[in-house]
Amino acid sequence: MLNHIVGGRLFAVILKFKSTLAFSGPPNDGTTSTRVPSFPRTTTIPDSLHLSLPVRNNDGENESATCIFDIVVSCIVMKNINDPVVGGIPVKRLKLSNLPAKHDFKMTFPRTPGSIDPNNPPWPAYRGYHTYSFANATMGHRLPTILGKAIDDVVYTLNEQSDEDLIVDLVQCIERMDSLKSELQEHAKLRPIIDDGEADVALWNKAIVKYFRGKDFMNAPWLFAEAYKYRRLRECFSVSKYWSNYDVFFRQKCDTFSRSNEAVFELSGRFGEPFKHAENLSSSEKAESLRLMFLELTQVCLWGNSTDLSLLINMTEEQIKSLQSTGGEALAETEKNILGNHMSRLWEVVRDLNKDSVNTGGGRIDFVLDNAGFELYCDCVYADFLLQSGLASEIRFHGKRYPWFVSDVTRKDWAWLLNSMVYGQLFPKATEQEKEGLKRLGLRWKQYEKEGKWIYEQHPFWCTGYTFWEMLNEAPDLFLHLSKSDLVIFKGDLNHRKLTYDCAAPYSTSFDVSIGPMASNAGAPKVCSLRTIKSDVVVGLGSNPQEGDAIGENLDKEEPGWKISGKYAVVLLSEGRPGEQVNLV
């Protein structure tokens, strides 16, 4: 029944990508994976630190000591009911006996909300100087490799030019990239962004001056330093005369989609025809088939994040084919790898959009996109289903304004995908029927755009180093805009890092607590994160703290590298506070 409705083979194709890649474990940016154990974090406060005095880390900061101190103070305040009162004011006395025993105390919110800022996340930040961490491997090895490959791409383009002005201008872009690469390798300080006319210059420079003055590529929080590198890469081109829109990753992004023919045609074959229920189904059977289809497509969309074919950039045609031609794993099997799973609740939310919607039938769903190519194609298939089934009436896609984290979607990638499906000749070996199916799908999607049912947007905030905890403050217009959505789906690893402040929160931390203001601000929309786990921050596991932490700690022991393999995933939902007036003060 399930296979009949959802088509097990397609899913197996997609999952086959995922599981194979999980073992080879490369990141989805074309660099070779460096397997490093993640640096250990402690979530249980040891006795010796109960009265923690400021302790400085390598960076000269007292971030950990301060946050532990905050907790200690709040525990004492809560427990000390017999404090003396002097002049009407209770005086807090530190009593060791009031402190919780080592074993039953877990940090639930180690830094008080008022002391959180981009350099001081709620839990300790990951930083590049943490030796043996993924942050260290990324900053020290992966990013220089990515830059090196990007330079190769520009050199390739350079060699195709004949006009002297264009050549000279492009050579200067390459020189700027070379300098950036040296700065990265020499751990240079983060300098302000040059005013290149981009909408985000002020946002960047405010963050650099306010939170990261004097910080360098290795001692700034990893998230900010990594994002900064992509902004600087942008600057290498944005200040040029002829090449300001050049995308050093565009060739890779196109290439990976063209090499994914089998999975592409599986999807277009099944979804090329408009969605309709099989005849003679009772209304409860229809409802059940809709639910099952929703669940499968949610997983297609989810695992599309790990199967983004930029992962396959170093694979031969033959290797990709063999990945695509074998199947076997079932939906239920893959669901086991979703370690924090709110999919059932997600279905209820989406199902009820139809009921709740006053005018049109179906609600507004926003996708904060991640990667171009195959992942974007999966997202669109999902969005198409949501629209055709009447669950949604409007879908907004949020992409990046310029090349970002290698494979993220820009407007050009969006247009390229839809136009290639209709007019392209990417798949010369495909049958006429396959080509027709893909074209029909592309035409339908372009029609949605014309009718305003699909809307592509690109707010500057998405290309900053800010986390989404700061969205209301730094991009209030965007927060307000999203607050009008019925559901905001964040795709992928980087979006998840930004939702959760990319810090060492305990595995069992609830999604609501991890995303802070994106759940607790008045007007916060319902938020769902569809993320295959490709970096250190992991939250939302288990139904209670013991269970959640045990799941993560077991994997730490049994499967080192599980947090960067893309083999595991989370589907997490926050109910937010929709409908309440956003407080813009």
Please give the residue ranges that form the binding site for ligand F6P (CB under 6 A): 27-28, 138, 142, 226, 305, 370-371, 405, 407, 492-494, 497, 534-535
* Distance from C-alpha of 36 to C-alpha of 24, rounded to nearest angstrom: 13
Q: Which does 27 bind (CB under 5 to 8 A by kind): ligand F6P, Mg ion, none?
A: ligand F6P
Q: Which helix (H) or strand (E) holds 89?
A: strand 89-90
Q: Kindly tell me which of 83 and 255 has the beta carbon lying closer to ligand F6P.
A: 255
Q: Which does 33 bind (CB under 5 to 8 A by kind): Mg ion, ligand F6P, none?
A: none
Q: Kindly tell me which of 408 and 549 has the beta carbon lying closer to Mg ion.
A: 408
* Distance from C-alpha of 222 to C-alpha of 502, rounded to nearest angstrom: 8
Q: Which does 296 bind (CB under 5 to 8 A by kind): ligand F6P, Mg ion, none?
A: none
Q: Are the beta carbons of 501 and 535 closer than 8 angstroms?
A: no
Q: Identify the DSSP state of 59.
A: T
Q: What is the dihedral of CA 547, 553, 554, 559, to 10 degrees?
A: 140
Question: Interface with Mg ion by CB under 5 A: which range of 98-106, 408-416, 422-430, 445-453?
Answer: 408-416
* Distance from C-alpha of 57 to C-alpha of 40, rounded to nearest angstrom: 15
- Please report, for residues 177, 191, 200, 267, 549, the alpha-carbon distance to residue 474 in angstroms, rounded to integers and kept in the order given: 29, 20, 11, 39, 33
Q: Kindly tell me which of 105 and 222 has the beta carbon lying closer to ligand F6P.
A: 222
* Distance from C-alpha of 541 to C-alpha of 138, rounded to nearest angstrom: 25
* Distance from C-alpha of 292 to C-alpha of 252, rounded to nearest angstrom: 34
Residue 568 Cβ, how far from ligand F6P at the closest point, in Å?
Answer: 13
Q: Are the beta carbons of 539 and 502 closer than 8 angstroms?
A: no
Residue 532 Cβ, how far from ligand F6P at the closest point, in Å?
Answer: 7
Q: Kindly tell me which of 551 and 564 has the beta carbon lying closer to ligand F6P.
A: 564
Residue 467 Cβ, how far from ligand F6P at the closest point, in Å?
Answer: 13
Q: Which does 565 bind (CB under 5 to 8 A by kind): Mg ion, ligand F6P, none?
A: none
- Which of 48, 50, 28 shows the shortest CA–CA distance to 373? 28
Q: Which does 138 bind (CB under 5 to 8 A by kind): ligand F6P, Mg ion, none?
A: ligand F6P
* Distance from C-alpha of 574 to C-alpha of 542, rounded to nearest angstrom: 15
The verdict on 371 binding Mg ion (CB under 5 A) reads: yes
Q: Which does 497 bind (CB under 5 to 8 A by kind): Mg ion, ligand F6P, none?
A: ligand F6P
Q: What residues form DSSP beta bridges with 574?
A: 527
Q: Are the beta carbons of 408 and 371 closer than 8 angstroms?
A: yes
Residue 506 Cβ, how far from ligand F6P at the closest point, in Å?
Answer: 20
Residue 57 Cβ, how far from ligand F6P at the closest point, in Å?
Answer: 22
Residues found in the chain = 585
Residue 498 Cβ, how far from ligand F6P at the closest point, in Å?
Answer: 9
The verdict on 408 binding Mg ion (CB under 5 A) reads: yes
Q: Identify the DSSP state of 315.
A: S
Q: Kindly tell me which of 410 and 521 has the beta carbon lying closer to ligand F6P.
A: 410
Residue 492 Cβ, how far from ligand F6P at the closest point, in Å?
Answer: 3
The verdict on 405 binding Mg ion (CB under 5 A) reads: yes
**Site of interaction with Mg ion (CB under 5 A):** 370-371, 405, 408
